[in-house]
Amino acid sequence: MQLGARVLKTGVAIVFALFLAELLKLPSPVFAGIAAIFAIQPSIYRSYLTIVEQVQGNLIGAVIAILFGIFFGHHIVAIGIAAIIVIGIMLKLKLNSSLSLALVTLVAIMVYESGNFLEFSVIRFATVMVGVFAAFIVNMVFLPPRYEVKLFKQIQSLQDDIIRWTRLAIRGASEHVSMKNALNKFQKRLSEIESMYVLYKEERQYSKKKRHSQMRKLVVYRQMITTTKKSFELLVRLHKHENEIAHLPATFRTMLQERLDFLLTYHEQLLLKYTGKLRPEHSKWTVDKKHLNRSEVMERLIEQIAIEKQREGEEEFSSYHLFYIFSRILDYEENLEHLDTLIVSFQNFHGKDLNEDLEEQFY
């Protein structure tokens, strides 16, 4: 079992909240610990954004709890009705992220024990707020997230799998059901990458130079994700037309394999280039003499479409299938070129700002 940074931070936040509550001699410090659990956030920036909502949510929960406690008492039915009202207000104000915390404050105040009710309410509200601020402090100083490394690792891992399956698919060696299952998993992993990109985007740099570098990195990673999506779309198209591709003439199928092998190798080299593992002489995309250039590939395509058009009455394969396949290939190729341009530009202007962990942990 592997414990992530957020798991450790949650534990530290609970301990810190309980410690502060006991240090301030607040009764029932357990509510500070509970509040810390709900208040912890996956990133520093998100923690900064949500702390205002958390204060607002706690105030709403406390005010409703006090009003119901004064006018309707502390019966369990009154607590349930108050909770419904708090939920309605929070949803109306679009404070969904702080809803759970507001309900914790509500229950903490309405389970009145003894003494002055207003004083008791203020103490319970303060106890919950101690947990909120304890979580905020822990999020700021303890194990700051390194989402760039996680993001690149997810992109690189997914791209390696897509490249492996693409090489099998273009040779007709992939098993249909296994390929279908793999494509479903790839779709889920793409969604996870998008979520990780959002978290990385929320990271904030405090110096002007680092902010500019961060913005350039975001553009590169956005294009990395886009290019991975294009390779995934190409794989989906190859899977859909695997039978039709198998019936293409051997020479044309070989040309298709060589073109894709060239592009897939190019994609692998771009990831190596970004981590500083590629030699300077490979800093530009050069087409080997044995590979066809783009115009030659298009000429071959037009010739093959003309041949297929004559066979359409005899075969199920239609010429427009080739357009589908090659449109994906050309789209993938253009995005690779654009990614190459962005990586070269970033390294020229911000080469020293490359994350050292990427150089050490990959390849």
Tens digit of each residue's pLDDT (9 = 90 or more) over 133-182? 888 888 877 766 678 888 999 999 999 999 999 999 888 888 888 999 99
| 352 pLDDT above the threshold of 80 | no
State whether residue 309 is helix, strand or coil. Answer: helix
Q: Which of 17-21, 71-75, 186-190, 201-205 has the lowest mean pLDDT?
A: 201-205
Q: Which residues contact 319 (CB under 8 A, 6 or more apart)?
A: 305, 308, 309, 312
Average confidence (pLDDT) over 327-356: 81
The residue type of 1 is M
Q: Quickly state the pLDDT bin for 289 (edges 50, 70, 90).
A: very low
Q: Quickly state the pLDDT bin for 108 (edges 50, 70, 90).
A: confident
Asked if 182 contacts 165 with a C-beta cutoff of 8 angstroms, the reply is: yes
Q: Quickly state the pLDDT bin for 310 (edges 50, 70, 90).
A: low
| 1 pLDDT above the threshold of 50 | no
Quote the pLDDT of residue 308: 58
Provide the sign of the torsion angle of the four alpha carbons 236, 241, 245, 246, taken in this order. positive
> What would the pLDDT profile of 7-38 be if each residue is shown by its tens digit?
888 888 899 999 998 898 888 888 888 888 88
The residue type of 24 is L
Q: CA 117, CA 136: separation in Å to the nearest integer?
A: 29
| 45 pLDDT above the threshold of 60 | yes
State whether residue 318 is helix, strand or coil. Answer: coil
Quote the pLDDT of residue 212: 75
Q: Which run of H or E residues covers position 50? A: helix 44-71
Q: Which run of H or E residues covers position 126? A: helix 117-141
- Give, in degrees to the nearest 5, the angle at Cα 32 between 29 and 36: 150
Give the rounded percent of residues in the chain with a pLDDT score beyond 70.
79
